Amino acid sequence: MHPPQTASPTASQTASPNASTAGHDPIPAPLDCDLLIVGAGLSGIGAARHLQANSPQTRWKLVEARARLGGTWDLFRYPGVRSDSDMHTLGYAFKPWTERKAIADGPSILRYIQSTADETGITQQIQFGRKVLRANWSTAQSCWHVTLLLDQGAVEQVTTRFLYLCSGYYSYTQAHQPVFDGQASFQGRWVHPQFWPQDLNYSGKRVVVIGSGATAATLVPAMATAAAHVTLLQRSPTYMVTRPAEDALALKLQRYLPERWAHHLTRWKNILQGMYFFRLARRYPQKAKSHLIGLAAQQLGPEFDTAKHFTPRYNPWDQRVCLLPNGDLFEALKNQSASVVTDTIGQITPHGILLTSGQHLDADVIVSATGLKLNALGDIAFTLDGQAYNPAQAMAYKGMMLSDLPNVFMAMGYTNASWTLKADLTASYVCRLLKHMARHGYQQAVPRKDPQVQAQPYFDFSSGYVQRAANVLPQQGDRKPWRVYQNYLADMLSLRWRPLEDGVLQLTRADKVAR
């Protein structure tokens, strides 16, 4: 179903008759759109599909800063780029994943997003090359005035009732790149995975990958197939878990059941399984730790020093657990096309890395898989009636709106499960709220924070990339609806079935706002 591009004004587009008679400027009608989606990645395309199906009366636009859709799955081009969770949950609830591999490579995921956008005409509606710079909320007009920067350097203004931020939580233009002593002296190639050079030829070369997260765990086995040798250099170990690249039950269900039934059964199996193991790890951290380390030791064999290289200093799920499809990293270590070194960097030399232990790692290519740089609200400068809004001082409402920020939704996923699970729930909630507001003539929705609610970090995570962003990310509260649960069932209850008017989300009409 295609979004209507022309329509008579709805309750969300027109001013209440009392707005002009109250001595205030009337609300412009129609606005450029009812809702502006920012970002054409996995979340943005999903949001557009939800609006088409569940809120067809909403006039929406979709802007994307880059020249192509796909977001993360178009940006990242490093060797072996893949999902770090299964596609039956990373994929959309409304579109079955039908390829054999459940742990899919980046190009397959990009094709999936593209086909989702193509099927109902979303691709033709995307306005590429438009980066949102600023957004100012006008209380008198109950709308956002949005400033877009175009590819050619020109500036465009858009008015919209709602903003829906689907731009993720990390910067596309910057990454976390620590500067090491002597780095400028290195005579080989130095690359960061986020900005992978397409002309890089590492065949037959000695490669060192700095890092211990999902990106490093992906790069090492992928590059080891062509490089002379790849060394994983980690400051500290990470939990690594092997999982089959193909889901045997999913493939069996696909043979005997309709496509959609098979998809939903597999999806729910994976959701519940993931929640079960997460709760088990949280309740019995030492047992979970011993189990995960034992699995790694069993796969690597007795001659490998698992205690040194795969025994983290933290408990499972204090940081994200890395997924290894078919144990590919362990296989590369066993066949000696790759090795792992747990140490710290003393300095970079012209021909490699000198470690603090005195060992020297020879390298022709150094890949600095040192992490992402997180941001808040897509690095958009928000103002309310000209006054700057600071998201770091705000509190997240149901993990999808921010306190005192009117008519703004944000797609934020889980740290312990697939991103799209929460993005789908958020999109459903947005559609439900839009219909409710149109039915009752509301123009503004804003969560109001109770000063009694105690602030807590948004992510209950000790990962470096989260800790580095503590001063820019919003916070969560110590009670609902300000808690960020990281729990699909809790969010499903909250977003699909809890009353919209809960005493915290303030819904108002234009004439009431203006007074």
Backbone angles phi, psi at 211, to 5 degrees: 145, 170
CATH number at residue 386: 3.50.50.60
Backbone angles phi, psi at 293, to 5 degrees: -65, -40
| SS3 of residue 472 by DSSP | coil
pLDDT for 134 equals 97
Helices (H), 316-384: 328-334
Q: How far is CA 149 from CA 157, 225, 380, in A?
A: 9, 42, 11
- Determine contact, residues 123/117, Cβ cutoff 8 Å: yes
48 in the same domain as 68? yes
Which residue carries 């698992």 as its tokens? Answer: 306
316 in the same domain as 266? yes
Residue 355 confidence (pLDDT) above 50: yes
181 in the same domain as 153? no
- Beta-carbon contacts of residue 452 (< 8 Å; ≥ 6 apart): none
Q: How far is CA 238 from CA 118, 211, 313, in A?
A: 39, 10, 9
Residue 248 confidence (pLDDT) above 50: yes
| Bridge partner list, 362 | 352
Across 345-367, average pLDDT: 98
Residue 6 counted as domain residue: no
Distance from C-alpha of 350 to C-alpha of 364, rounded to nearest angstrom: 10
Amino acid 449 reads K
404 in the same domain as 312? no
pLDDT for 21 equals 30
Other beta carbons within 10 angstroms of residue 106's beta carbon come to 20
pLDDT in tens, 131-180: 999 999 999 999 999 999 998 889 999 999 999 999 988 899 999 889 99
Burial 144-173 (b: 16+ CB within 10 A, else e): bbbbbbeeeeeeeebbbbbbbbbbbbbbbe
260 in the same domain as 152? no
- Give residue 470's pLDDT band: very low, low, confident or very high (50, 70, 90): confident
pLDDT for 27 equals 41
- From 370, 402, 436, the end of a domain falls on 370
Residue 80 counted as domain residue: yes
Residue 300 counted as domain residue: yes
Distance from C-alpha of 513 to C-alpha of 128, rounded to nearest angstrom: 34
Share of residues in the chain with pLDDT > 70 (%): 93
Distance from C-alpha of 486 to C-alpha of 419, rounded to nearest angstrom: 10
| Bridge partner list, 381 | 134
Residue 6 confidence (pLDDT) above 80: no
- Determine contact, residues 405/446, Cβ cutoff 8 Å: yes
181 in the same domain as 157? no
168 in the same domain as 46? yes
- Give residue 512's pLDDT band: very low, low, confident or very high (50, 70, 90): low
pLDDT for 55 equals 96
pLDDT in tens, 11-69: 333 333 233 333 334 344 479 999 999 999 999 999 999 999 999 999 999 999 999 99
Which residue carries 């509260």 as its tokens? Answer: 477
398 in the same domain as 470? yes
Other beta carbons within 10 angstroms of residue 390's beta carbon come to 10
Range of the structural domain that residue 331 is part of: 177-370
| SS3 of residue 276 by DSSP | helix
Residue 69 counted as domain residue: yes
- From 340, 370, 400, the end of a domain falls on 370
E strands, 216-344, are 229-234, 240-243, 322-325, 338-342
Residue 12 counted as domain residue: no
| Bridge partner list, 232 | 209, 340
Distance from C-alpha of 107 to C-alpha of 76, rounded to nearest angstrom: 10
Number of domains in the chain: 2
